[in-house]
Amino acid sequence: MVLEVWVPGSCGEIAQGWRDGQPFMVTCPIGLYSRALVTDSTSAKTGFGRKANIALKNTVSFMGFTDFPLGIALESQLPTGKGMAASTADIVAVIQAVATAIDDELAPETLAELAAGIEPTDGVFYPGIVRMNYMTGELLETYGDVPKLIIAMFDTGGTINTVEFHSDYSTNAGNTDSPAELLEAVDSLTKDFSPENIARVATISARANQKLVEKPQLEEIIEFVKSQGALGVNVAHSGTMMGILFSPDESMKKVMNVVQLIGEKFPHMEYFETERLISGGCNVRNR
């Protein structure tokens, strides 16, 4: 028996903030993944860090057992500390793999509850694009069809501990609503989930986040990439990644030309990879 579970990472978030004392985020899943592989040919557990071990232990207990006798390996395409949902993807891949191997797949809402019990969680395991409470995992809204925006990703440098960031932010700013402009922009996604409006909202959210996690030369970058035909930018609100957002039908040649120009004009921006906005969710395969 071989069971695979793939969970996507993210390029930061489309938007993130607070409303009525509660946090929210709008997911930005991309085509890079964490994979958990379960097999009955061994009992070894490989590729596990502290959080993945907690996920394994908690899921086994949740399913009513005390031990997981099968082998499970965890691997990831996602760097940590950059705001790419690496920890969430690892945690949820383990949870879903263990639960499916024992009995059956868990619903996204159950995955959210278990994942949020370990740390603040990204919603990349929910199908589609969603707005959710990243502290509790509660689903707040699901949007329409996902436009496949092209996202050229850049690392602005360093790493951020997500758990420490959210703990400090919740303590010091948890009762402060985000700016009205951002909240109104996020509300507009309900009726207009076009590439242009997604990029507009993401850019507003990136600007609003400057007082929390500053991205150097953000305004200059926004002005420059828009002059080159990009729709806007998005950021990892508790990480270092920034995405340059292009229309789904933009030519890759044009995108890569802009990537080169960004690298020349903003040398602190380290190009990472170009991906597309995708639908979130767990992909479970038996083979």
> What is the four-CA torsion angle of 132, 135, 138, 144, rounded to 10 degrees?
10
Percent of the chain with pLDDT over 90: 91
171 and 117, same domain (yes or no): no
Q: Which domain holds residue 204?
A: 150-276
CA 35-284-15 angle, 5° bins:
70
Q: Give the pLDDT confidence of 175-191 residue by residue, as tens digits.
A: 689 999 999 999 999 99
- For residues 58 and 135, state if they share a domain: yes
Q: What is the mean pLDDT of residues 75-90?
A: 97
Do 23 and 126 fall into the same domain? Answer: yes
Taking only the tens place, the pLDDT of each residue in 17-31 is 999 989 999 999 999
Q: Does residue 6 sit in the same domain as residue 128?
A: yes
Chain centroid, CA 22 distance in Å: 19
Say how far apart CA 241 and CA 61 lie, in whole Å.
35
Cβ atoms of 97 and 2 closer than 8 Å? no
Same-domain status, 53 and 177: no
Contact (Cβ atoms closer than 8 angstroms) between residue 42 and residue 71: yes
Query: Could you tell me if 103 and 121 lie in one domain?
Result: yes
Same domain membership, residue 70 and residue 121:
yes
Among 45, 82, 47, 75, CA closest to 60: 45
**Cβ neighbours, 10 Å, residue 217:** 15
- 260: CB partners within 8 A, 6+ apart: none
- pTM over 0.85? The answer is yes
Residues 99 and 204 occupy one common structural domain = no
- pLDDT value of position 162: 60
